[in-house]
Amino acid sequence: MVDSPSEYSTTPCTRQRLKNGRPPRTKRTRQSITSRSGSKVRRSILGDIPENKEIEISTPKTPRKTPKTHVKNLTASASKRLDSGAKIPCSPLEKARANLHLHAAPKHLPCREVEYKSIHSFLVRKINDELTGSMYICGVPGTGKTATVKRVIDSLNADLLMKHSFKFVEINGLRLANPHQAFSVIWKELTGETVSSSRAQTLLNDHFSNKKVKELSTILLVDEVDHICNRKQDVVYNILDWPSQTGSKVVVITIANTMDLPERVLRGCVTSRMGLTRLVFKPYTFQQLQEIIMNRLIGNSSFDPDAVQLVARKVASVSGDARRALDICRRAIDLVKSEDESQLITINHVNQVLNAILSGVRVTAIRCCCLFEQFFLRALRDVTSSTGIEHSTIDSVYTQLKTICLLEGEELPNEQQVLMMAYRLRDSGLTFLEKKRWDIFRKVSLNVSPEDISYALDKYND
C-alpha cells in the first residue's frame, strides 16, 4: 500500500491546491510527507478518486518532475529506440561493409554447390524413405560447413512437401557446459521439457528405440563434435547408436574440423557406428574466395577488383578461411571510412591492413619492453646463438648482460632486478622459465625467434 503509484496521491493534491491557492511545489512535498506518515489520510484520499473523476479531467495538470510515460512504455520505446538507432547504410562503403558482415551470408553459398547438393540429396532420401543414417562433415574452420547444412535445412523448411515431415534439432559441442548436458538440450528441443541429463538420456533412448509410435523423422545436427568426446566417449556412442536402432527415424549429422577424428580419437565401437558417409569441405581456393567476396559486392563498386584478388590470394595461400577474407575486407573499409566516404578501395588499402595484421604482436611486444628488458632479450639471444642450445641459465645471461651494459654505457642492474625482469618477460610470453626453481641458475629460453628480436630492436634504434 505504501508503494502505491504516486499519481493517485498527486492528483488530489492539485485539487487541494486550487482551493487554497498555495504554490504547488510546497504543497506537493507536504502532501507526500503526510501520505507516507499517516496511512489513514491516504486511504481516504484514495477512496475519493472514483467519485471525482470528472473534476480531475477539467483541472489543469501540474507539470511532473519525471514523465510517467517513460516508465510505463519502457519496452515499447526500447524497440523504437533500437529501430531509430540502427543506421540504414547509405553510402556505398557502408553498404559494402554491411554486406561483407558474416551475418549477411547469401541465400545460396557460392562455391559450395556440390556439397550442398550431396547433403540435400542425403537428407531428402532419408526423410522420404523414413531411413536412418549418419554423416560426418569435416573441414578446416571458415569453409562453410555449418552454413551449408543450415541452408539445406532452410530449403527443406521452405519446401511445402518436406516441411512437416521432419524435426530439426541442433546442438553445439562448444555451447555445452559438459558433454552429458547434450541429452537434456536435445530433449528440450524435441519436447520443450527441462529434465536432468541422465533422465533425458533414458527418455531419449526410449524415444528413439520405440517402434510403435508413429514419429516424424528427426535431423540431429551435432556441431563441434570433438568437444563432446569425453574420455569414456559415452555421449557420442549414445548419439550415434540411435540411427542403428531398428525403427528409429533419426539422421545424425556430425561436424568437426579434424579430418581423421573417427580414426584417431574415437573408439572402435563408436567409429563403427559412425559409418563411412563422410564429406570433406576443402579450403577455398583464391578463385573461390574472390567469387565469394564479389558475390557479396554485386551492385557495389566501392572495391577495386584487384584489391579483392589480393585479399583472396593472401588468404588462400595461408588458410583458405572465408571468415578471414571477409574480415580483411571490412578492416580495409574501416581504414577508408575515417578519411573519405566515396572512395574506391585499392590494393594500397588492403596492403596496409595486411601489414597491420602481419607486423606481429611479438615484435610490438619487444618494442614496448623497457630498456633493460630489451637488453635481457639481446643477452639471451646472444647466449643461445653462441651455445646453440635452446636452454640457458639466468646466470649466463647475466654475464652477457654485463657486457651489453658496458657497451651501452648503462648501469648494471643487480641480480634481483634481473630475476624480476625474467619473470616479467615470462608473463608477457616472450620467454620460458624452468618450473619449480627460484635461483639464479634457473633455465630460461626464448619464445620468439632470434630474428624477431634483431628486427624489433634494430628498427627501434633507427
Residue 234 burial (CB < 10 Å; 0-12/13-18/19+)? middle
Q: Which of 26, 230, 277, 386 binds other proteins (CB under 8 A)?
A: 277
Asked if residue 389 binds other proteins (CB under 8 A), the reply is no
In angstroms, give the least distance from the CB of 197 to other proteins: 7
- x-or-dash string of contact with other proteins, 303-332, rule CB under 8 A: -------------xxxxx------------
Q: Which of 49, 78, 131, 389 binds other proteins (CB under 8 A)?
A: 131
Residue list 30-69, contact with other proteins (CB under 8 A): none
Asked if residue 132 binds other proteins (CB under 8 A), the reply is yes
Asked if residue 213 binds other proteins (CB under 8 A), the reply is no
Asked if residue 417 binds other proteins (CB under 8 A), the reply is no
CA 284 to chain centre: 22
Do 214 and 165 meet the contact criterion of CB atoms below 8 Å apart? no
Asked if residue 28 binds other proteins (CB under 8 A), the reply is no
Asked if residue 268 binds other proteins (CB under 8 A), the reply is yes
Q: Which stretch in 3-11, 37-45, 217-225, 360-368 sits in contact with other proteins by CB under 8 A?
A: 360-368
In angstroms, give the least distance from the CB of 139 to other proteins: 9
For residue 91, which phi and psi values (nearest 5 degrees)?
-75, 155
Rounded to whole angstroms, the Cα distance separating 342 from 84 reads: 24
Q: Which residues of 2-14 are buried (b: 16+ CB within 10 A; e: fewer)?
A: eeeebeebbbbbb
Do 160 and 166 meet the contact criterion of CB atoms below 8 Å apart? no
- x-or-dash string of contact with other proteins, 164-203, rule CB under 8 A: ----------------x----------------xx--x--
140 phi-psi bin (left φ>0, alpha ψ -120 to 50, beta other): beta
In angstroms, give the least distance from the CB of 86 to other proteins: 34
CA 52 to chain centre: 58
Q: Which of 17, 28, 112, 362 binds other proteins (CB under 8 A)?
A: 362
Asked if residue 440 binds other proteins (CB under 8 A), the reply is no
Cβ nearer to other proteins, comparing 4 with 272: 272
Rounded to whole angstroms, the Cα distance separating 84 from 230 reads: 47
Rounded to whole angstroms, the Cα distance separating 451 from 462 reads: 17
Cβ nearer to other proteins, comparing 160 with 318: 318
Unique residue bearing C-alpha cell 595461408: 318
Residues β-bridged to residue 217: 166
Q: Which of 154, 451, 454, 460 binds other proteins (CB under 8 A)?
A: 451
The count of chain residues that interact with other proteins, using the rule CB under 8 A, is 67
Q: Which of 96, 176, 350, 363 binds other proteins (CB under 8 A)?
A: 363
Asked if residue 360 binds other proteins (CB under 8 A), the reply is yes
Q: Which stretch in 58-66, 78-86, 270-278, 330-338 sits in contact with other proteins by CB under 8 A?
A: 270-278
Asked if residue 160 binds other proteins (CB under 8 A), the reply is no
In angstroms, give the least distance from the CB of 358 to other proteins: 6
In angstroms, give the least distance from the CB of 367 to other proteins: 14
The helix-helix angle for 234-241 and 181-191 (nearest 10°) equals 30
Residues engaged in binding other proteins (CB under 8 A)? 121-122, 125, 128-133, 140-141, 180, 197-198, 201, 205, 232, 234, 237-238, 241, 243-248, 257-260, 264, 268-269, 271-273, 275-278, 280, 282-283, 285, 316-320, 354, 358-363, 390, 429, 432, 445-449, 451-452
